[in-house]
């Protein structure tokens, strides 16, 4: 998710805004650096990097979940921003004094400017920050979780899940591409559509894929079979926000998640798996979307529902 104070910026995630007459177009141009085992500048090194994320943000929430699933908590530290921000940057208002205790920053923007003084784009989470220099390394969220699995493998806990099973990778890449295009990004295309036709096109594409997922999950417990993979993490963070935000706020209102038996059981199955539910904060999620998106919700009133207790009800997916 992004924030940026330029009025002409493409606020393609958290600071996104409706452009009259236009379709929503996500800016996917991120800092391309990666932290890898053989990198000269950014080598894998326990304790060197800090993941800065926000539980409110679905893209950042992925990284938080994967970090815990793999057992990387002791080698990559975690800094959490608050759920809302201004047009300049995400801020560390959850920490005492509003300052990140490791970086000493009030704003994530400071880590970006420490490396790129004239950084022209949005200040996004998740971001990997080099603690010694306090400079941002990368904000390329698909690669961050990919590299948590492949590049940090020697530091995984012994029973860490195989999030990228070799025999399923080709099919998984295709599934993840469709999930990203039509679901993860599809809800934003609905919410930030600038015309009726753009909205209806986005809506139809979203529900075509939601129906495809409902059918796919009828005879398999998870997206790729009987074990959790990266594909499930990527889908989960959108499903967790669906009824609370996307159904009403983004006008994705054909059906509630709770009315789709397979997807709803699947989502609860993941939520009740260690790493998922405890990193899902519905109050932060609702505060973020309903307060920050003032062009969609100018009153900034945050809804009280739905009741999060439904996520703890039996899911029955063990039978699949």
Give all domains of the chain, ordered by start, each with its CATH number: 1-160 (3.40.30.10), 166-276 (1.20.1050.10)
Contact present, 123 and 116 (Cβ < 8 Å): no
Residue 4: the pLDDT is: 37
| Residue pLDDT, tens place only, 159-202 | 999 999 999 999 999 999 999 999 999 999 999 999 999 999 99
Residue 13: the pLDDT is: 44
* Position 6 confidence tier, pLDDT thresholds 50, 70, 90: very low
Residue 74: the pLDDT is: 98
How confident is the prediction for the chain on average, in pLDDT?
94
Contact present, 286 and 320 (Cβ < 8 Å): no
Residue 28: the pLDDT is: 84
| Residue pLDDT, tens place only, 84-140 | 998 889 999 999 999 999 999 999 999 999 999 999 999 999 999 999 999 999 999
Residue 173: the pLDDT is: 98
Checking if the pLDDT of 18 tops 80, the result is: no
Residue 135: closest CA among 116, 113, 111, 118 = 111
* Long-range own/partner contacts, residues 95-101 (CB < 8 A, 24 or more apart): 100/52
Residue 1: the pLDDT is: 58
| Residue pLDDT, tens place only, 248-307 | 999 999 999 999 999 999 999 999 999 999 999 999 999 999 999 999 999 999 999 999
CA distances from 235 to 147, 187, 195, 231 (A): 18, 12, 27, 6
Specify the pTM: 0.94
Listed in sequence order, the DSSP H helices in 101-195 are 109-115, 141-150, 169-178, 186-191
Q: Which residues are catalytic?
A: 57, 188
Question: If you ran DSSP here, which 8-state letter would residue 42 be given?
Answer: S
CA distance 280 to 292: 19
Contact present, 122 and 3 (Cβ < 8 Å): yes
CA distances from 171 to 167, 186, 215, 224 (A): 9, 21, 17, 8
Tell me how long the chain is.
320
């Amino acid at each position: 998710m992004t924030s940026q104070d330029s009025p002409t910026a493409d606020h393609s995630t958290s600071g996104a805004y409706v452009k009259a007459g236009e379709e929503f177009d996500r800016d996917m141009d991120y800092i391309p650096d990666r932290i890898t085992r053989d990198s000269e500048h950014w080598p894998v090194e326990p304790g060197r990097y800090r993941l800065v994320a926000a539980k409110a943000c679905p893209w950042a929430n992925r990284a938080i979940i994967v970090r815990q699933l793999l057992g990387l908590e002791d080698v990559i530290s975690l800094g959490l921003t608050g759920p809302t921000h201004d047009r300049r940057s995400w801020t560390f208002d959850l920490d005492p004094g509003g300052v990140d205790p490791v970086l000493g920053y009030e704003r994530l923007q400071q880590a970006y400017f420490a490396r790129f003084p004239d950084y022209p784009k949005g200040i996004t989470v998740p971001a990997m920050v080099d603690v010694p220099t306090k400079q941002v390394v990368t904000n390329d969220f698909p690669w961050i979780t990919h590299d948590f699995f492949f590049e940090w493998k020697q530091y995984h806990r012994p029973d860490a899940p195989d999030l990228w099973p070799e025999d399923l990778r080709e099919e998984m890449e295709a599934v993840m591409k469709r999930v990203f295009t039509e679901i993860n990004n599809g809800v934003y295309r609905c919410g930030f559509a600038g015309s009726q036709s753009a909205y209806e096109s986005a809506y139809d594409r979203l529900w075509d894929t939601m129906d495809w997922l409902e059918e796919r999950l009828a005879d398999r417990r998870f997206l790729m079979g009987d074990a959790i993979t990266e594909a499930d993490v990527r889908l989960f963070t959108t499903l967790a926000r669906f009824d609370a935000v996307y159904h009403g706020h983004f006008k994705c209102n054909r059906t509630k998640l709770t009315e789709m038996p397979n997807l709803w059981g699947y989502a609860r199955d993941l939520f009740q798996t260690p790493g998922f539910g405890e990193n899902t904060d519905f109050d932060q999620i609702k505060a973020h979307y309903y307060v920050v998106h003032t062009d969609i919700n100018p009153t900034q009133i945050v809804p009280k529902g739905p009741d999060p207790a439904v996520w703890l009800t039996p899911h029955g997916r063990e039978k699949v």
